[in-house]
Structure 1
Amino acid sequence: MDDSTAFQGSIPEHYDSGLGPVLFRHYADVLGAAVAEGRPRRILETAAGTGISSAAIAARNRDAQLVITDLNAEMLELARQALPATARVEVADAQALPFPDASFDAVACQFGIMFVPELPRAFREARRVLVPHGVFHFSVWDSHAENRFAAIVDGLLAETFPDDPPPFYSVPFRLSDVQALRTLAQSTGFRSVRIDVVPHDAPVVSWEGFADGLIRGNPVADQLRRRSADLDAVVAEVARRLDAEYGAAPTTIPVQTIFYRATVR
């Protein structure tokens, strides 16, 4: 099976520049504001990526101690550039956090839990490092039906490689079952779970730039290279299909995520 968690090589730069302005910056602000509501003194972020959400958390929580983690060191190199010097940045696995019990008032994970192999372990770890009444803030993408741009890319990949389609675009959109995540949170030690469905009209300056991020800004790039695909041709076709679906850029596209706030018992 292809590794859908390896954001390495040139992927972080394409992720940050091609996907960040469209898919992540607005939701980073939403997350930063949500975390700030609890006035936490110590904040841990897991699966922080290139630091887009980290920067928003830092901006909204200026007096808090911030620890930023991700599995991919190359993603964190970009994150360091977006953060104040006081932030602690280190490689860590959300399923086995290297921190003592009750170390943080808040844990945040934006669009990361979809990539965790064993979700119960990650939830138990978040619970373990939180203080009593601490909050685990996490978000996931809603389904392909609510994020048509992803369905378009996934459909193209399936058409191009019908016998062995790259699997990446089935991963980030696989956790849209609200009840399943609520049940998991409550079964791993969280008392109450607030759930907010958050639609957004995401701005797209150019289809070519966004398409480049959708193909070269995540592990589907390596999945395609292993299939000897012409990445330039795939990017061009994604841009063409997005233009046909939504009209000429600049424009906006509808996207939708689900935000959770799980409070420790």
Structure 2
Amino acid sequence: MPRTVPRRTDHHNPPHRGRTPRRPHPPSTRPPTSSGTPSRALYQHTQTVAQPRHPLRQDRHHLPSSAPPRSPPHLDHADAKGTAQLQGPWRRGGAEVSGRGTTVMRVTGFNADQRWSESMPAAYEQYLVPVVFRPFAEDLTAKAAALHPRRIPELAAGTGVLTSNLLATAPSAEVTATDLNEAMVAVGSARAPGAVWRQADAQRLPFPDGGFDLVVCQFGVMFFPDRVAAFTEARRVLASGGRFLFNTWGPLGTHAFEVALQAGLERAFPVDPPRFFPTVPHGYADPAVVVADLAAAGFTVEEEQELTLQGRAASTADLATGYLTGTPVRATLEERGDGPAVRATVIEEMTARLGPGPVTAPMTAYVFRAAA
């Protein structure tokens, strides 16, 4: 059965006759429900306060729908307690968080692991795209081309590996690539200039109803704070009978590169290791949950496939460099310090498990095709 998406509750007390009503309670900071769907009232805008350390699954939340859209911030730095200076963009494909200049904003449950700074896309593109993402982009492109699409929006397009493949394989299609992160859009638009590039929130797409016949997304849905909301938007912009085609990673244990990486991080940080990879990229790894979310958004699932492909890296050291400098783990390592020693430990552990390279290892994902 489709799961119920929690709705934001009113925390205001009812009025009382004869006396001034009590002040409203602050928004709830409760963690996600047992179904994995986050509470919609997580973020609160206050001044500098300390951040509680919650699991990363609590970080995938977004502003209440009543909040006005603003430019997404880039978290330039954060102190040891988690108070962040917000500037520019952050997040791959999820909701926006307001903040400009040197505004200090509190985001309850935020963790540095989920930041994307402007310097990450280059390392991501150089070290990770060829090894980890291109094999799956080729598969998704072949599936998309078989549908003979004419107009395609891509969600959470990143640096454009899928975009480039779509342009080459389906040259007659109009491709509009979107990503919430402005730095990713900048790199992607240079890499795949044949597409129209737009900075956009997958939960509030800037497109009219029924304007496309295929929506695609490669390894982006895991980052959406409210997946049912994002899926509902994808269905809204699709014409009747249009398709939604995307993939998501399987459990961490089915991705040999990232098993070795996480082991290295846990060795470098025996207490409180970064948990970005188990809880975000590999945190949406139950196909039954994905299918339920699609059904809740009004889709009919036509195909669900478990797909294992081989990743090939020239060296384990390069692969580790990509993960440590081209993903949100980088911000965590910079905050905790001693980066060279951490990098050496991670490379040593990954090499012990994978060899120095060239190295080939299996990676598993799930691929879904749903009809509007």
Same fold, judged at TM 0.5 (above): yes
| Counterpart secondary structure, 1:226 | helix
The 1:5/1:36 distance shift into structure 2, 3 A limit, reads: farther
Query: Could you say which structure has the larger radius of gyration?
Result: 2
Name the CA distance, whole Å, in 1 between partners of 2:346 and 2:141: 31
Displacement over 3 Å in runs of 4+: 3-6, 158-164
1:115-166: per-residue Cα shift (whole Å, max 9, x none)?
1111111110111111111111111111111013212322333343344332
**Does the 8 A contact of 2:160 with 2:192 survive in 1?**
yes
Give 1:89's aligned residue: 197
Matches within 5 A, 1:145-224: 145-170=253-278, 171-224=280-333
Query: Larger % of helix: which?
Result: 1
Name the CA distance, whole Å, in 2 between partners of 1:218 and 1:37: 32
Structure 1 residue 4 displacement after superposition = 4.7
% same residue: 36
Higher relative contact order (CA 8 A, sep 6+): 1
Name the CA distance, whole Å, in 2 between partners of 1:204 and 1:161: 25
Structure 1 residue 107 displacement after superposition = 0.5
Letter in 1 for 2:319: F
Name the CA distance, whole Å, in 2 between partners of 1:73 and 1:97: 15
Letter in 2 for 1:78: V
**Does the 8 A contact of 2:210 with 2:237 survive in 1?**
yes
Structure 1 residue 5 displacement after superposition = 4.5
The 1:256/1:30 distance shift into structure 2, 3 A limit, reads: same
Query: Larger % of strand: which?
Result: 1
| Residue 100 (str. 1) matches residue 187 (str. 2) | no
Give 1:240's aligned residue: 348
Name the CA distance, whole Å, in 1 between partners of 2:354 and 2:139: 25
1:40-74: per-residue Cα shift (whole Å, max 9, x none)?
11000010000111101111110011100001111
**Does the 8 A contact of 2:252 with 2:277 survive in 1?**
no
Name the CA distance, whole Å, in 2 between partners of 1:254 and 1:165: 24
Find the partner of 1:141 among 246, 249, 258.
249
Matches within 5 A, 1:17-166: 17-85=126-194, 87-166=195-274
**Does the 8 A contact of 1:6 with 1:72 survive in 2?**
no
Unaligned runs of 5+ in 2: 1-109
**Does the 8 A contact of 1:185 with 1:193 survive in 2?**
no
**Does the 8 A contact of 2:218 with 2:247 survive in 1?**
yes
- TM-score, L = length of structure 1: 0.94
Q: Which moved more, 1:157-166 or 1:122-131?
A: 157-166
**Does the 8 A contact of 1:14 with 1:213 survive in 2?**
yes
Letter in 2 for 1:34: K
Letter in 2 for 1:204: A
Letter in 1 for 2:262: D
After superposition, the CA RMSD in angstroms is 1.5
Unaligned runs of 5+ in 1: none
Letter in 2 for 1:42: R
Name the CA distance, whole Å, in 2 between partners of 1:163 and 1:233: 16
**Does the 8 A contact of 2:267 with 2:345 survive in 1?**
no
Name the CA distance, whole Å, in 2 between partners of 1:3 and 1:98: 28
Letter in 1 for 2:140: L
Letter in 2 for 1:180: V
Structure 1 residue 3 displacement after superposition = 4.6
The 1:222/1:57 distance shift into structure 2, 3 A limit, reads: same
Name the CA distance, whole Å, in 1 between partners of 2:338 and 2:213: 46
Q: How many residues matched?
A: 262
